Amino acid sequence: MAVTHMTEPHTGDDEPLLSVRNLTKHYPITDGLLATDVGRVRAVDGIDLDVYPGETVGIVGESGCGKSTAARSLLRLEEPTAGTVVFDGEDITAFDTSALKRFRRRAQLLFQDSDSSFDPRMNVGDAIAEPLTVQGMRERTRRREIVTDLLDRVGLSAADADRYPHELSGGQQQRVALARALSVNPELLIADEPTAALDVSVQSEILALLDDLHATVGLSILLISHDLGVIRQLCDRVAVMYIGEIVERGSVEDVFTNPQHPYTRALVASIPTTDPRERGTAVELTGDVPSPSNPPSGCRFHTRCPELIQPDGYDFDQRTWRRIMDLRQHLADGTVDIETICHQSVMDHDDDTGPDQRSETEPTAKLREEFALPEQLEDARADSILESALDCLVAGDPGRAADLLATEFATPCEQHAPTLEATDAGQDASCLRHD
Amino acid sequence: MSSDSDSRRNTFEDVDWDEIDDTARPISHRALAIASAYAIFVGGVAYDVLLAPEGDTIASLGLSLQALDWLYILTLLTLVVFGLVPLSEHRRMTAHYWNQFKKNTAAVVSLGYLLVVFAIGSIGPRVLEKPRVDARNAYQPPVFTSVESWLPVDCVGPVVNDRCHGTWAHPLGTTHEGKDILVSVIYGMEVSMQVGLIAAFITVTIATVVGISAAYFGGWVDTVLMRYVDLQITFPTFFLYLVVVYLYGGSLFSMIVIFGLLGWGSIARIVRSEALQRREETYVLAAKNAGASSSWTIRRHLLPNVSNSVITAATLLIPSLILFEASLAFLGLGDPTVPSWGGLIASGRNDLQYAWWISTIPGVFLFGTILAFNFIGDALRDAFDPRSGGGTT
């Protein structure tokens, strides 16, 4: 279905329905009695996005990357910290209360958790009609007719209007949620993880319904999901988010078949495949997802990137290089527990040799083992620096060890933030390898 | 549905919102009805205060409404408008709660008892004469019981074996002043209902407004309101009442108003904590997404969803107020002209040895009423609890 749309409708002359520029949402972290600002969670940190009329655009990313916050702040359900959101030629960030209320008819959000998005004391009919009532439609009979029609279209019966949300299954609730979102005939529907809480079989029903409504009503849809399969099934274009930023953006076709950003490559490789020859090729991302309250410097993906740029003059095996950087990351985070590692080495050797007979190099060898580093780096100079850093670490000076490694194994990825630019493959990606 | 009606059916695509924006919003019949009911009430109060001759409201009917009566009318009016009308509008919800509620037999019996007490207490004082002091009629025993014949001055019933037997003339006997206890108890019913309902009405109204405002608007509104609640909770209301009694004499009106106006602190805290939770629910965001205003969200989402805890708190507050009034009346700190149960119990305490019925009978009614409210409070809490099983089926 999605494939039949133009893959890149924005090549035409038409204006985008929704145009987001530099959308930013930071949450202040406050502390103490006076609520002093001690930092900010950069949930969404300057994203640009266009949605053209009739188009389905996806935003994909891991949990906590800011997808939902992006959806809420671009609808001004939460006030964005900065940026502009132009909807049909008007900047909605400048809207006053009444203009915003009118805007709510034209853009609706479909919530992730359909169960809690319904007031348990409002029956289904009243819930679907709520946007109509709020927007000023007073005639009860007319509202009732619209609700009946909507229930019919989303595959429920008119009698369901009298039921209460808790009497419905998850799939039925999501259908009702869809009916509620459609009731004011919006031009843009933002669907925030519309199927995340559903069984797989129900998921596909809801997606089919969404796709069907998209075709019949002519909606533009911004679909937010962590599930690449869902995005691939419904969307024309996709934006990949990582810690509050868009790292790759382009047509679904381009992004999924020829991803240009290492993060996208890792995501695409993680899609389960039925082809046995393609199994086991998944790129494993090391490390934890960094916190948006303290995003990494330079390229935000550099702490986990499997394709990190190597320093001038070195040509490591890429996996070894990643592990050196992982060690640096652990040192920076202060998560290296030298006591445990060394203690473990004493324990291991207790049976055959006494502690006195241990050779001097053993703790560092143990550290290499711990961080999956080879016993000897190919490059002699690099190896000696690594060895002296490990020595510092054993000697109880992790700061100096970190400094040593940081000076020698500096990567441009931690110093320069890449910008989202067009690549040769067609889509936009923000990776220094393309700059 | 046939295809014919389908084609004529209104759909969401047909709606011309600009047209709806341009049409004037007629006030709904419901809002109009509520507004006029309250307007009539305000008009009545204004007439009574400004125009009516001293002491009489409607002289031709011999009707004289005091401040307390007006408050009682306001309480009942509000109970109908915001209690019974919504219940009758949401039949299925009501049926669900009733099914949950009736699982508790004691509560159903209690509800029946209270409805009877309320009905008799409302009608009785209108048709029955206020009990009069009649020394010759003193110490009549209740029907089916007897007492040694020297106790009553003049035994109304038959005297058999030197024992005075009770008669249907005074089914529950009389006091040492010769007041009929049945009539006194009936008058006491109205007093107890007035105390419980009016004070609970004042309390619940203020607590809900304060609690919801604090939770919804947050920030300094929250801080100011909740710090005031902290202060008020430490305020010795009882001593304030003693001072008022000392200065102006006891009066039911001042008792109700003082305890109503100063007793809402803890319920406001309950409402606030409940509303704080509800405010974070996705359906509040969904209402915002629909374009709803703060007042809509508060009226349609927060208020109905905190009403459970409010109603439960109120049903448990009412008996404590009734008991408090009885205690004050027993101690002689009430209005001596009001035929309260507490006063009646107090009047019999010197005769407990000979005339047990004077204190016991109103005591049984007081006990029954307190117990009934507590049972109902318990059952309502269970019925409203979504975890009670019924909520998820």
Question: Per the domain annotation, does B5 fall within a domain?
Answer: no
Q: Please give the pLDDT value at position A251.
A: 92
* A11 has a pLDDT exceeding 50: no
Please give the full DSSP string across B142-194, using - where no structure is assigned.
Answer: PBT-EEETTSSSS-SS-EETTEEEB-TTSTT-B-TT--BHHHHHHHHHHHHHH
* A405 has a pLDDT exceeding 70: yes
Mode of pairing for the β-strands spanning B159-160 and B163-165: antiparallel
Q: Which CATH number fits domain A2-269: 3.40.1210.10, 3.40.50.300, 2.70.150.10, 3.90.1150.10?
A: 3.40.50.300
Determine, for residues A137 and B391 on separate chains, whether the beta-carbon distance falls below 8 Å. no
ipTM: 0.82
* B218 has a pLDDT exceeding 80: yes
The tokens for A232 are: 């691939």
Judge if B34 and B120 occupy the same domain: no
Query: Is B126 at the interface with chain A, CB within 8 A?
Result: no
Q: How far is B296 from chain A (nearest CA, A)?
A: 8
Give B221 or B65, the one with higher predicted confidence.
Answer: B221
pLDDT band at A281 (very low <50, low <70, confident <90, very high): low
Distance CA(A362)–CA(B25), nearest Å, equals 84
Phi, psi of A206 (to 5 degrees): -65, -40
Picking from B117, B153, B159, B157, the residue whose alpha carbon sits closest to that of residue B133 is B153
Question: Per the domain annotation, does B263 fall within a domain?
Answer: yes
Judge if B119 and B45 occupy the same domain: no
Judge if B43 and B121 occupy the same domain: no
In chain B, the residue whose alpha carbon lies closest to the alpha carbon of A164 is B93
Q: What is the pLDDT of residues A305-350, one digit of tens each?
A: 888 888 877 888 888 888 888 888 888 887 777 777 766 655 555 5
Query: At which of B10, B36, B65 does a domain end?
Result: B65
For residues A59 and A224, is the Cβ–Cβ distance under 8 A? yes
Question: Per the domain annotation, does B17 fall within a domain?
Answer: no
The tokens for A105 are: 């008819």
Picking from B314, B294, B299, B307, the residue whose alpha carbon sits closest to that of residue B93 is B307
For residues B351 and B358, is the Cβ–Cβ distance under 8 A? yes
Judge if B89 and B36 occupy the same domain: no
Q: How far is B260 from chain A (nearest CA, A)?
A: 29
Question: Per the domain annotation, does B10 fall within a domain?
Answer: no
Residues of B in contact with A116 (CB under 8 A): 281-283
Question: Per the domain annotation, does B258 fall within a domain?
Answer: yes
B330-338: which pairs have CB atoms within 8 A and are 24 or more residues apart?
Answer: B333/B241, B333/B242, B333/B245, B333/B250, B334/B250, B334/B252, B334/B255, B335/B249, B335/B250, B335/B251, B335/B252, B335/B255, B336/B250, B338/B191, B338/B252
Helix, strand, or coil here: B389? coil
* A4 has a pLDDT exceeding 50: no
Question: Per the domain annotation, does B236 fall within a domain?
Answer: yes
Helix, strand, or coil here: A225? strand
Picking from A224, A247, A227, the residue whose alpha carbon sits closest to that of residue A69 is A224
For residues A243 and A289, is the Cβ–Cβ distance under 8 A? yes
Calculate mean pLDDT across residues B270-293.
92
Q: Please give the pLDDT value at position B106.
A: 94
> Exposed, middle or buried: residue A234 (CB in 10 Å: 0-12, 13-18, 19+)?
buried
In chain B, the residue whose alpha carbon lies closest to the alpha carbon of A129 is B290
Judge if B334 and B306 occupy the same domain: yes
Residues of B in contact with A75 (CB under 8 A): 289
Query: At which of B14, B39, B65 does a domain end?
Result: B65
Give the total number of structural domains in chain B: 2
Question: Per the domain annotation, does B138 fall within a domain?
Answer: no
Judge if B231 and B366 occupy the same domain: yes
Give the residue extent of every domain in chain A. 2-269, 318-410
Query: Is B3 at the interface with chain A, CB within 8 A?
Result: no
What is the domain extent for residue B380? Answer: 67-131+180-388
Q: Please give the pLDDT value at position A114.
A: 80
- CB-nearest to A131 from B1, B9, B291 is B291
Half-sphere exposure of A236 (CA within 13 A, CB side): 21
The tokens for B130 are: 């206020």
* B167 has a pLDDT exceeding 90: no
Q: How far is B289 from chain A (nearest CA, A)?
A: 6
Query: Is B285 at the interface with chain A, CB within 8 A?
Result: yes
Judge if B356 and B368 occupy the same domain: yes
Neighbour tally for A369: CB within 10 Å = 12
In chain A, the residue whose alpha carbon lies closest to the alpha carbon of B384 is A121
Calculate mean pLDDT across residues B215-238.
92
Looking up residue B295, the CATH number of its domain turns out to be 1.10.3720.10
Half-sphere exposure of A164 (CA within 13 A, CB side): 17
In chain B, the residue whose alpha carbon lies closest to the alpha carbon of A71 is B289
Judge if B49 and B91 occupy the same domain: no
Q: How far is A103 from chain B (nearest CA, A)?
A: 8
Judge if B189 and B44 occupy the same domain: no
Judge if B109 and B255 occupy the same domain: yes
Query: At which of B65, B82, B111 does a domain end?
Result: B65
Question: Per the domain annotation, does B344 fall within a domain?
Answer: yes
Please give the full DSSP string across B92-151, using - where no structure is assigned.
Answer: HHHHHHHHHHTT-HHHHHHHHHHHHHHHHHHHHHHHSPPP---GGGTTPPPBT-EEETTS
Calculate mean pLDDT across residues A129-149.
89
- pTM for the structure as a whole: 0.80
Most confident of A126-140, A322-336, A366-380: A126-140
Judge if B296 and B377 occupy the same domain: yes
Helix, strand, or coil here: B23? coil
Query: Is B298 at the interface with chain A, CB within 8 A?
Result: no
> Exposed, middle or buried: residue B223 (CB in 10 Å: 0-12, 13-18, 19+)?
exposed
Distance CA(B228)–CA(B207), nearest Å, equals 12
Neighbour tally for A428: CB within 10 Å = 22
Judge if B55 and B81 occupy the same domain: no
Q: Which one-letter amino acid corresponds to residue B385? A: D
Picking from A312, A308, A313, the residue whose alpha carbon sits closest to that of residue A326 is A308
Which of A108, A130, A168 to mutate: most B Cβ within 10 Å?
A: A130
